A and B are shown apart, each in its own frame.
Chain A
Amino acid sequence: MIGPRIGVVTFPGSLDDRDALRAVGQMGGEGVPLWHADADLRGVDAVILPGGFSYGDYLRCGAIARFASVMDQVVAFADHGGPVVGICNGFQVLCEAGLLPGALIRNRSLRFVCRNVWLRIETSQTCLTSALTPGETVQIPIKHGEGQWVATREQLDLVEGDGRVVFRYVSPAGIVDDAHNPNGATNNIAGIRNAAGNVVGLMPHPEHAVDPDVGPEGGQPLFASLLHTAGVTV
């Protein structure tokens, strides 16, 4: 049996596309490289927008990538319920494209932060957390300079009120507190979903956390969820 086909988009300046493809393969899926100038998604079952610095992050992170021709297809795919995951820079692209609310601004500390963090799962109603139970915690690395998620009052009320927070930064014991908020994100929010749960954006990097040889394995249940969802959606 061939696993679900997961497309990973490479923009000029993407960094983590190879890791994402590798993680998909390690978890039993088939990674399909997609190019920013592509006019179609090659029939994939899910799409990952990877981390990096697309188009040099000029103007704003993700602002130029949003207008790449492949993004028209990604938006249409998402509108039809296809699973789309944006990691780090990919999360910024999803916000810029209007698929997710809010925006990512400079870390509160003004410093680039690179370390493992603990995340608490807030909902299993997404393509990325269906194999997890709310309240569970996973350890995954972050590495970003502009990861502070902010939103308008109305957007925040909707995201919190409608259960669209997917991940929060927490202590190892699973407690939300300021000491474990690495970037100043509103309400310790590390990742959110759209209304349907088929689009998820997060700052942490699950693709760097599937191989036990090189770090924590908190990314495994996330990729397992994505592969499962992608397999069902086909």
Chain B
Amino acid sequence: MTAFAFEVLVTLKDGLADPQGKAVESALPALGWSNVAHVRVGKHIRLEIDAPDQVAARTQVEEIAERLLSIPVIEDAQVMEVARS
């Protein structure tokens, strides 16, 4: 078994209103940044996993991302392999 590290990025689907992104966006002009638009807020999850190989590790992380880390009705989950710390 080898250890692999992954990052999972969970974001609200395109087209869904993102109240947190909107709050951030509307705070920016007050700080003088009036040229920023389409702010979206998401979640970042980092994890390490023991698996026989890289493909098996990714498959399992994708399942974790879909079953627990995100709710597919409203969120997209992007899985990225990263260097172990």
Spell out A's residues near B (CB within 8 Å).
59-60, 63, 67, 95-96, 101-103, 105-110, 148, 150-152, 155, 184
Residues of chain B from 1 to 29 with CB closer than 8 A to chain A in the complex: 12, 16-17, 19-20, 23
Q: Which of B12, B23, B68 has the most CB of A within 10 A?
A: B68
**Do B19 and A108 have beta carbons less than 8 Å apart?**
yes
Residue from B16, B20, B68, B69 within 8 A of A150 (CB atoms): B16
From residue A57, how far is it (CB to closest CB) to chain B in Å?
13
**Do A106 and B20 have beta carbons less than 8 Å apart?**
yes
From residue A27, how far is it (CB to closest CB) to chain B in Å?
34
Interface readout for B52-80 with A: 1 if CB under 8 Å, 0 if not?
00000000000000001101011000000
From residue B17, how far is it (CB to closest CB) to chain A in Å?
7
**Do B19 and A110 have beta carbons less than 8 Å apart?**
yes
Query: Beyond A106-B20, A109-B19, A110-B23: 19 further Cβ-contacts under 8 Å?
Result: A59-B69, A63-B68, A63-B71, A95-B71, A95-B73, A101-B73, A102-B73, A103-B74, A105-B16, A105-B19, A106-B19, A108-B17, A148-B19, A150-B16, A150-B73, A150-B74, A151-B73, A155-B73, A184-B17
Cβ–Cβ < 8 Å partners of A95 in chain B: 71, 73
Cβ–Cβ < 8 Å partners of B17 in chain A: 108, 184
From residue B43, how far is it (CB to closest CB) to chain A in Å?
8
